[in-house]
Amino acid sequence: MTLAAATELAAATNENLANISNTLIYSSMAVYTLAFFAYIAEWLLGSRSKVGRTAAALTPVKTAKAGKAAAPAVTVKKGGSTAVLERPKVVVRAAAGQRDVPDGPGAHGGDAQGDLYGRIAISLTVLAFLVEFGGVLTRALSVERAPWGNMYEFNITFSTVAVGVYLSLLALKKNVRWLGLFLITTVLLDLGLAVTVLYTASDQLVPALHSYWLYIHVSTAIFCGAVFYVGAVSTLLYLFKDSYENKLANGGTPGRFANSVLDRLPASASLDKFSYRVNAAVFPLWTFTIIAGAIWAGDAWGRYWGWDPKETWSFITWVAYACYLHARATAGWKGRKAAYLALIAFGCWLFNYYGVNIFVSGKHSYAGV
């Protein structure tokens, strides 16, 4: 076999791997869709009779006749000739600034049927994750490089890592199954955007990207984004759950949707603590990501920092998350105020990836989208 023929055969083999990658990505989308419906079934068919812990903990007690909130019971102590009334203390918020209410029973509603659909959904999620991981791996093998040289590859890798983070938390026996429906919904949207708008044919990279820093810098950025995403979802759910608890504590009556969905979620205090922990845990790695990018820029362009749009928004994202973590640890800025900062910070991360890559040109613009 001649050298030219061998080269042509190698190129054909690479093209075959690229086609296999595309097939696997589409197949993972099909399995993720089945998982999506299984998560829907978990929420819809799970028992509603066991939902109501938050309402029971926060709704004021009603009198049987007048239907009005009953006054707290009192005890009478005699102090000489004077009767002293002592009202019991009603604990509404814990010392950390959040209410003392129990976590919800979960998406399955606490019954066997809902739990069965939830387990099926998890199994399908694991299968889809493995298929998508295969798609990312074959994409890498088709060009013999890291599979994140353009936005299409970044998207499929990002969604794979996000699902991997979710499954890892489950493997560590963390109660995060409530995250499944929201995660899979956005993963499907992400992959749909990747295979339609952002798709780029498998190709080699420009010389500036041929560096071991590609594996270090971009991989950490992808992992940080996946964890930030998990934190953002839990923060958003915290805001909804906190409003729900506020309404109950003030004697309001939430709608059927709120009672059915929000009451199954963990308490707002649990969601707030979870989002804070994941954001705080990954923030040092995001700091390393920026430092690694600066070192790579020094090797590739002869300067460590030049306020390129990608560099600028990476720093803005870092400042936003630093403000959130500082606010979360500062008295008076816990709860909703800090949560808004967390969502703003994740919005900065999203713009750093999508907005800067699509609408702004700079040194990080290599392969269009």
Taking the C-alpha atoms of residue 152 and residue 358, their distance in angstroms, rounded to an integer, is 12
For 80-111, what is each residue's pLDDT tens digit?
A: 554 444 444 433 343 344 567 778 888 888 88
For 110-150, what is each residue's pLDDT tens digit?
A: 888 889 999 999 999 999 999 999 999 999 998 888 888 78
Quick one: pLDDT at residue 151? 86
Query: How many other CB atoms sit within 10 Å of the CB of residue 10?
Result: 10
Prediction pTM value: 0.81
Looking at per-residue confidence, does 34 or 293 come out higher? 34
Comparing C-alpha atoms, which of 82, 90, 265 is closest to residue 179?
265
Show me where the domains of the chain are located: 10-61+102-359
> Any idea which residue has 């967390």 for tokens?
342
Contacts for 337 with CB less than 8 Å, ≥ 6 apart: 327
The answer to whether 228 and 24 are in contact (CB under 8 A) is no
Quick one: pLDDT at residue 301? 74
The answer to whether 133 and 205 are in contact (CB under 8 A) is no
> Any idea which residue has 């339609």 for tokens?
196
Show the DSSP H helices in the chain as ranges: 3-45, 53-58, 112-143, 151-171, 180-196, 213, 219-249, 256-261, 268-301, 309-328, 336-350, 356-359
Q: Give SS3 for 356.
A: helix
